[in-house]
Structures are given as C-alpha cells and as structure tokens.
Amino acid sequence: MTSPNPYNHSSSPTRHRSWQRLEALAAQGQPHLRDLLLADDAVGTECGSQSHPGTLRAKRLQLMAAGLCLDARHQAVTLEVLDALLELASDCQIGPQAQALYRGEPINATEGRAVLHPALRGGAMQAPPWGADQAQRIEAELHRFLSAAERIRNGLWVGHEGQRITDVVNLGIGGSDLGPRMAVAALEHLASAQVRVHFVSNPDAWALHRVLRTLDAARTVFIVQSKTFSTQETLTLAASARRWLHEHGLQTPAEQAPHLIAVTAAPAVAAQQGYLPQHTYTFWDWVGGRYSVWSAIGLPVAIAVGPLAFREFLQGGHAMDLHFWNAKPQHNMPLLLALLGIWNRNFLHCPSHMLAPYPSRLDAFTRFVQQMDMESNGKSTHLDGNTVQIDTGPIVWGGLGIDGQHAYFQLLHQGRHRVPVDFIGVEREDTPLPLAAEHHRVVLLNQRAQALALAVGRDRADTEAELRAGGMPEHQVQRLLPHRTFAGNVPSNTLWLPALTPHTLGALVALYEHKVFCQAAIWGINPYDQWGVELGKTLAKAMEHAAETTPHPPT
C-alpha cells in the first residue's frame, strides 16, 4: 500500500473547519487565566500529581514523557480550544507526515533530501523504519567517533611530540557550534578534568585569540566542524588555527595531523584541504545542521562527558521519539507543545516566544532552540509554492530565567507584548556545595512565582486592598493603583526535568525538535531548508570576488 502523500494538496491550514473554529473561539474571547486556574483548583500542585490532578482541563494539560513532565496548566486554553487544536492536528495529517519522515522519504522537498536525524539516536531499534543498512552505517560511524573521544580522554591520542591532549577547540558555526556548545555546558558537571573543551564560532580574531593565548599547541586538538566544509567563517578560523600550530613548531602536514580533526558531510572537500581520512568523521546530507548534535558533530560532547554518557544522551532522544510515535494525540507531549504554540501564535497573535531555563547549566539552551526553531519555521512560502497568509514561526528569545527576572521580565508583566514563556526547571540538583539545597530552594521559588504572577497578575481590588493594608494614605493609593495593577493572563509552560542528566537533556532536545516539526506540518511549510541564510552567503562570496577582480589604485 502506498502512503498518502501529505504534499499533494493545498498546504494552508486555513482551509480546515478546525482552523475556522479556533478563529471563532479566539474572537469570542476566552476566560482569564486567573479564572481557569481557580476553576482547576490545582494552583501550586506538583506537575503530574496523582493525588490532586485537578479538573479535566488540568489533567489534560499535564503530560509525562521520557522522564520529563510538561505542566501546561498556565496556558490560556479551555477544553473546547484543546479539542479544536487536536482536530486541527488530525486535519493536517501530522501522523502521516511523521511516518514519511521516518521512512526516509525526501520530505525536505526544496532540497530533495530525507530528514533522518532521529535515526542517529535509534541504535537500539530492532526493525528501524529507515532500514537495517542505514542503521549499520550510523552505528559504525558512531563507534568511530566515540573511540576517538575515548582515546583523547584516556591519553592514547597524543600530539605530534607525544604529549597528552589537554585542550580541544571546536571551530564551527550555527548547527556546527550551538548544539555541542549547549550540551557540553549542560553536562558540565560530568566533564572530564583531563581535557577541556572550548568553542569558537566567530571569525573575529579576538574570539580565537582569547582561547589560544592560554593553550599549548603540542597538547591541543582542533575539531573543524562543518557540514558543507565550505562555510567561510569556519574556514577562516581553521586556517588561522593551522597557522598558529605552524608558529608553535608544528610545521609540516605530518606534524599537524594529530592536532586536526574534521567533522563533515563532505569528507572529499575536507580531504582536499589536507585533513586525513582517519581523522575525519562524517555524517550525511539527511542530517540538517541544526539537528546534527546527535551525529559526529557531537564529538566535543563525547570528549567532555565520555562515550557512555553520549550514548545516554542519544537514548534520551530516542525515548522521546518512541513517545512521539506511539502516544495518542491527546497524550503526545511534542504535539501538545506545538498546538499550544499555534494557539498563542495564530489565534492570540503573540509574535514571540520566550524560553526561560532556570538551571544555569542550560544557559546556552535558548540560543540552541532559537536556531532550531527560527531557522526551521521562519518561512513564508507553503510547500505547494503559495505565499503564506498566516503567521508562522515566532521570534524565539530569552535566556536564564533568574537573570531575566532582573532584566526584561518587567516587559512581560506590564509591557504591551503578550509573550508566552517556556519555563524549564530541574526537580533535583546535586551540586556538591554545602548550601546547594538552599540555592535550589531559592531558584525553584522564583521559577514558580514568575509563572504564577504572569498568569494571574493582580487585579484592581486586590491591589487596592494590599496598598491600604500597608497603611498608605488614600490619595496615594488611588494615584498608584493603575501602576501597581497587573493584567496577568500571560500563558506559560513549565517543563520539569527530574535532574539534568544526559538522558533528560536528550529527551528535552528531541521534544523541541518534534514540536518544531509538528508546527511546520500544521503551517504547511518546509522546516528543513534555509534559503534565506544561503542568500547572505552567496552575496558575501560575490562581494569577495568583486573586490579581488577590481584593480586597486596604485599606492
């Protein structure tokens, strides 16, 4: 039986009755979040609490998957809205679209490519939908780069002069930087004390110098990461790194060889540039740059935390895949996250979406998801070639929640933008510091307080009562009232990780990947190309060429 091709019909979701129903629901106005939460009678209860799950709405907005808990009770949706959103998902054939992805069909239609990054973490599967041969190739390359990581970690991979490697410098940009940079920081507590991992993405000379000035060339390995091996910024950094090795006594290709690793989907191009095949780790054109942390692009992560932990990271991602494939739409966490985002973007017309992780080790997570989401869904052409008439990917921004509270959260509370937030927290924190538990208590308190304050705000009557209770003279109460009242009704999700581990991190990354996929599937756009970025690259090359061919006036 041939599968239904999801791209043979018009791509706009507005043609569905469910879309029109959602428009009508939004137009008729929805209850304030304060009232929804009061009705749920579940304010302050733990995510997924069995003893006090609250109303049906509250129950349906709390899901567990791959060890993570999504608490979406602070979303401005009624059961009626939730049902209409699920109907939209069914109308848009998310299921068949996901199946096409896993079978390796060329769903990246504008580049004629398959999109199989989930295969990179599907090693344990008995009969993978992408085929046993593909699975074998993936495992063989995984084994190769994990062995390299192990040898660097245990001192068997030595520099030209026989010294142990103490520093690894990752040179790459975009997807060849953000994923591994994020994961190394998130798992910093597991990192080897023997080998430090650094990241340089910016071709600005200082960015490289500030790392190199502290390093010993004889003990340093550069990993040049580039899917295409043609990105100007990365090649500029790589040339400068090689020159630095040269200046520090490693002059011939043979002397430099143990200090240079290439990771790329274009190994022939790397070979032309002098990188040895045995020091080149590869992946495939069906791995998008922003989805490549699971491939050999993850080598710096494996060096930092070791092969075992890297495999746990893959397993965490795979656990989320299994959930995504098997869970019913109503219980499907990535789908729910996507649908709530669609409600906020297309029906409540929120132009941006904020990520606020509270564990400091997730500092780089927002920038990572920002690329994944904005480069994927920042599109205005449907798959059928028609111009999109609805809003697509939001502006994704944010950063560590606690720091944000003292910087830009004011705008969330009282500004003119309604900004939905994803709060990300960990339930358990094992930092070996005497007062670690107290630190954690303060962090959690703040995270919970912000989600609540944004949702419920503070109405006029409560504000008035509070000001009067403080003994404020009446004329002052009346003058301050409008300034001290908070509209609230700002929607948020809270994602709880039991602890920050390779497994939960993998699940979290895969969750956002699937969310982005589901939203693209609903909007009818291709999340896997990035022609906008290509234009900038082409223009830079053309300008370089013009400068080279224009005769300079004699000096």
Length of the chain: 555
- Give, for 401, the enclosing helix (H) or strand (E): helix 401-405
Q: Which is nearer to ligand G6P, 231 or 315 (CB)?
A: 231
Of the candidate residues 231, 295, 346, 504, the single one contacting ligand G6P (CB under 6 A): 231
- Give, for 262, the enclosing helix (H) or strand (E): strand 260-264
Of the candidate residues 181, 198, 290, 382, the single one contacting ligand G6P (CB under 6 A): 290
| Of 386, 332, 293, nearest in space to 98 by CA | 332
Q: State the catalytic residue, choosing from 105, 312, 375, 429.
A: 375
Q: How far apart are the first and last CA of the chain?
A: 73
429: which DSSP letter? -
Determine the interface stretch with ligand G6P among 221-229, 413-421, 457-465, 518-526 (rule: CB under 6 A).
Answer: 221-229
Instruction: Compute how many residues bind ligand G6P; rule: CB under 6 A.
Output: 14
CB of 543: closest distance to ligand G6P in angstroms? 17
CB of 288: closest distance to ligand G6P in angstroms? 7
Sheet holding 395-398, edge to edge: 62-65, 68-71, 492-497, 421-426, 352-357, 395-398
> Is residue 32 among the annotated active site residues?
no
Determine the interface stretch with ligand G6P among 222-230, 353-361, 420-428, 493-501 (rule: CB under 6 A).
Answer: 222-230
Q: Is 227 in the site for ligand G6P (CB under 6 A)?
A: yes
Of the candidate residues 11, 97, 201, 226, the single one contacting ligand G6P (CB under 6 A): 226
538 Cα distance to chain centroid:
27
- In order, the DSSP letters of 10-74 are ---GGGSHHHHHHHHHHHT----HHHHHHHHT-TTPPTT-SS---SHHHHHTEEEETTEEEE-TT
Of the candidate residues 108, 234, 332, 450, the single one contacting ligand G6P (CB under 6 A): 234
Cα separation, 182 vs 409, in Å, equals 23
Q: Is 380 in the site for ligand G6P (CB under 6 A)?
A: no
Q: Is 289 in the site for ligand G6P (CB under 6 A)?
A: yes
> Is residue 537 among the annotated active site residues?
yes
Q: Which of residues 153-182 bind ligand G6P (CB under 6 A)?
A: 173-176
Q: Is 375 in the site for ligand G6P (CB under 6 A)?
A: yes
Q: Which is nearer to ligand G6P, 118 or 203 (CB)?
A: 203
> By rule CB under 6 A, what string of x and - marks binding of each residue 525-544 to ligand G6P?
-----x--x-----------
Question: What are residue 363's DSSP bridge partners?
Answer: none
Cα separation, 161 vs 163, in Å, equals 6
Instruction: Compute the CA torsion angle 494, 499, 65, 184 (nearest 10 deg).
Output: 90
> Is residue 188 among the annotated active site residues?
no
CB of 522: closest distance to ligand G6P in angstroms? 22
Using the Cα atoms of residue 155, residue 235, residue 181 and residue 315 in order, give the sign of their dihedral: negative
Of the candidate residues 228, 240, 380, 485, the single one contacting ligand G6P (CB under 6 A): 228
Helix axes 502-523, 307-326, angle to 10 degrees: 40
Q: Which is nearer to ligand G6P, 481 or 533 (CB)?
A: 533
Tokens of residue 119, six digits: 């295969």
Determine the interface stretch with ligand G6P among 106-114, 131-139, 202-210, 225-233 (rule: CB under 6 A).
Answer: 225-233
Q: State the catalytic residue, choosing from 328, 406, 475, 483.
A: 406
Q: Which is nearer to ligand G6P, 228 or 360 (CB)?
A: 228
Residues taking part in catalysis? 375, 406, 537
By CB under 6 A, name the binding residues for ligand G6P: 173-176, 226-228, 231, 234, 289-290, 375, 530, 533
